């Protein structure tokens, strides 16, 4: 995971998930996804898409894009909807991995300063503080 992130930051000279997704030829779309879905990733006819809920704050949109980018890199070929409907597999593991990827990408090259909490460092990097448990 860390090697993938380092490669992205070195290649695109940023940790901005929107810039990285564009560089990887992943289409970004915005839509009203209802009350319970913040974003999704899917492939259709060899094209890749990240859909972000249009009503989210900029901070959350950035996190969701990074999270879905994590699915693209860490879980190629897996479809959450198919897994939910046709298997007994626990998809929570994949969601935790994508959250961890997003936090690591968005905080790449940074760490808490002396006396600074992880939550404060996440705030400084515009990462939702609810994601602090995925920092490690």
> Which residue did the predictor score with more confidence, 96 or 87?
96
Residue boundaries of the structural domains of the chain: 2-134
User: Apex CA 84: angle with CA 55 and CA 73, to 5°?
Assistant: 65
| Per-residue pLDDT band at 27 (split at 50, 70, 90) | very high
pTM of the model: 0.87
Tell me the fold of 2-134.
Arc Repressor Mutant, subunit A (1.10.10)
Q: What integer pLDDT is reported at residue 84 of this predicted model?
A: 45
Other beta carbons within 10 angstroms of residue 5's beta carbon come to: 22
Work out the mean pLDDT of the chain and round it to a whole number. Answer: 87
Q: What does the pLDDT look like over 49-58, one tens digit per residue?
A: 999 999 999 9
């Amino acid at each position: 995971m860390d090697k993938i992130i380092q490669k992205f930051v070195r290649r695109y000279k940023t940790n901005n998930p929107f810039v990285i997704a564009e560089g990887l030829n992943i289409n970004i779309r915005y839509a009203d996804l209802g009350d319970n879905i913040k974003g999704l990733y899917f492939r259709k006819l060899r094209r890749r898409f990240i859909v972000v809920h249009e009503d989210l704050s900029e901070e959350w949109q950035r996190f969701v894009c990074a999270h879905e980018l994590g699915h693209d890199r860490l879980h190629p070929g897996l479809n959450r909807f198919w897994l939910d409907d046709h298997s007994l597999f626990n998809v929570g593991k994949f969601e935790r991995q994508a959250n961890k990827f997003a936090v690591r990408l968005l905080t790449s090259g940074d760490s808490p300063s002396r006396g600074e909490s992880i939550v404060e460092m996440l705030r400084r990097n515009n990462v939702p503080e609810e994601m602090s448990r995925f920092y490690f």
